[in-house]
Amino acid sequence: MTDLTTLTSWHSDWEGLRVAVLGLGMTGFAAADTLVELGAEVLVVAASAPAETADLLDVIGAELLHEPNLDTVPQRLADFAPELVIVSPGFHPDHALLLWAAAAGIAVWGDIELAWRVRDKVRAAEWITVTGTNGKTTTVQLTAHLLATAGHRVAAVGNIGVPVLDAVRDPIGFDVLVVELSSYQLHWINQTPEGAISPFASVCLNLADDHLDWHGSADAYAAAKGKVYDNTRVACVYNLDDDATRHMVEEADVVEGCRAIGFGLGAPGPSDLGIVDGIIVDRAFHDDRRNSAFELTTHGELAQAGLTAPHSVANVLAASALVRAFGVAPAVVREAIATFRIDHHRTETVLESDGVLWVDDSKATNPHAAQAALLAFDPIVWVVGGLLKGVDIDPLVEQNVKRLRAAIIIGEDRLALRSAFARHAPSLPVFEVQATETDGVMPQVVRFAIAAAQPGDTVLLAPAAASMDQFDSYSDRGRQFAAAVHDQTRTTNPGGAADDDDTRSGHEPGPDTTAA
């Protein structure tokens, strides 16, 4: 039996360790590939196994147990008697295989813990870790861009789509990894001395209810997010406008000497980054921070980069704080921000036609993200709905009804939305798209929006929900929205009738309709 506490390096003795890897997505394959390279005996257990990936497992020397029904423990897994289980992020904590592992006393790690332990294969890069309910990917991309502009060899990895295990095995290695961490990944980081990561700097951008169906409660979700700060060595960056992130820093067990650095949209204190008269400034890393500040960029320069929405400015401040902690000069921050462009499906302008702005924020997969997008526009024809993931949608509707020209409901979890609009805006035009085929959803959305929108309005896709009920991903949802917009704004008569299988509630929108 291998002593897992000794496995703290690529160069530890992993030979012959029996490991079960749960899941065969990018994370699962990267874990299996890494462990085989380390000399472990690997059994991959998966409910779905694409043929190409399964073939690659055979090539690298890992065994595949493809079992579509994983509600019970397969006999082959029990016979394998793993000493360690590596779990892909999507497995619920109460999954039958994980309950079995816990009952049997088998250690369970996520891919992040494994990557931290073997990070020294080439050279051990510094880690900067980023989490939050919203804004993670943009902040990670911007942080990596700032570091690269400063001359560092850097990779944006983790929940952003590139497994950390692939980066730590890069033959050249990196100076720094900017690691996006989901609440799922953070949940599976153990707090043992040898298993807990110790980042150079860390941030939780914000906290709002999300993934409650996975974590079981808001407290459990917050506890997972708070792990991002544990063992941070130099800077814990937090949101001055979100008390939950400050409490996380206060409660975190950090390395002695680690600083708490705040960021916010107001004037900064001596240990903060903030805004003064439209100028983004850093007081935290100035030698005379009680009396002076560094200018990093201006609101006008952010406008050129498409980063003026309040949540985008907050992401800029957070990324700037992380790289300033790493020693990136203010002039480099300014230069890099000027050349950064935000990713697709994040308050992305699709088209402006006949005085109506069409915006794709399909990445807004929860109410907190949708609220950030809604605050950036007024009046709005709001496209909303999908899989709500156990989150209460009522407060979001209540807070924004005065901004709305109309609402268009899509997706599976529509009853809660229908009830919220009836309760808080009974006179608001509310349309429901009844299409069941994926390719029929967005054309109906656009027909409704053309009928409802007036010059000066924004048609905003900010669903506040996950996409998998009707689309392959949030990206697929956004692409189909954009395609329908481009198609129908060229071919549809704004006064044309909707299809018979569309339904609506409230009054019919017309030229004299005003926001409720």
| DSSP one-letter code for 264 | -
- SS3 letters across 177-230: EEEECCHHHHHCCCCCCCCCCCCCEEEECCCCCCCHHHHCCHHHHHHHHHHHHC
User: Is 225 part of any known ligand binding site?
Assistant: no
**278 is known to lie in a ligand binding site:** no
Tell me the angle at which helices 367-374 and 310-325 cross, rounded to the nearest 10 degrees. Answer: 110
What CA–CA distance (Å, rounded) separates 341 from 359?
A: 16
Say if residue 66 is exposed, middle or buried (CB neighbours under 10 Å; 0-12, 13-18, 19+): middle
The amino acid at 412:
E
134 is in an annotated binding site: yes
Q: Is 138 annotated as a binding residue?
A: yes
Pairing of strands 380-384, 404-409: parallel
DSSP state of 509: P
137 among the known binding-site residues?
yes
The SS3 assignment for 111 reads helix
Residue reference for tokens 């299996």: 32
Rounded to 5°, angle at Cα 480 from 478 and 485: 95
Q: What is the Cα–Cα distance from 55 to 62, expressed in whole angstroms?
A: 10
Q: Please report how many Cα atoms fall inside a 13 Å half-sphere around the Cα of residue 55, on the Cβ side.
A: 3
Strand order in the sheet with 84-87: 63-66, 41-46, 18-22, 84-87, 107-110
Report the distance separating Cα 305 and Cα 340, nearest Å. 6
Q: Are strands 356-360 and 348-353 parallel, antiparallel or unpaired?
A: antiparallel
Phi, psi of 282 (to 5 degrees): -120, 110
Q: Is the distance from CB of 492 to CB of 447 less than 8 angstroms?
A: yes
- Binding site as annotated, residues for ATP: 132-138
- Binding site as annotated, residues: 132-138
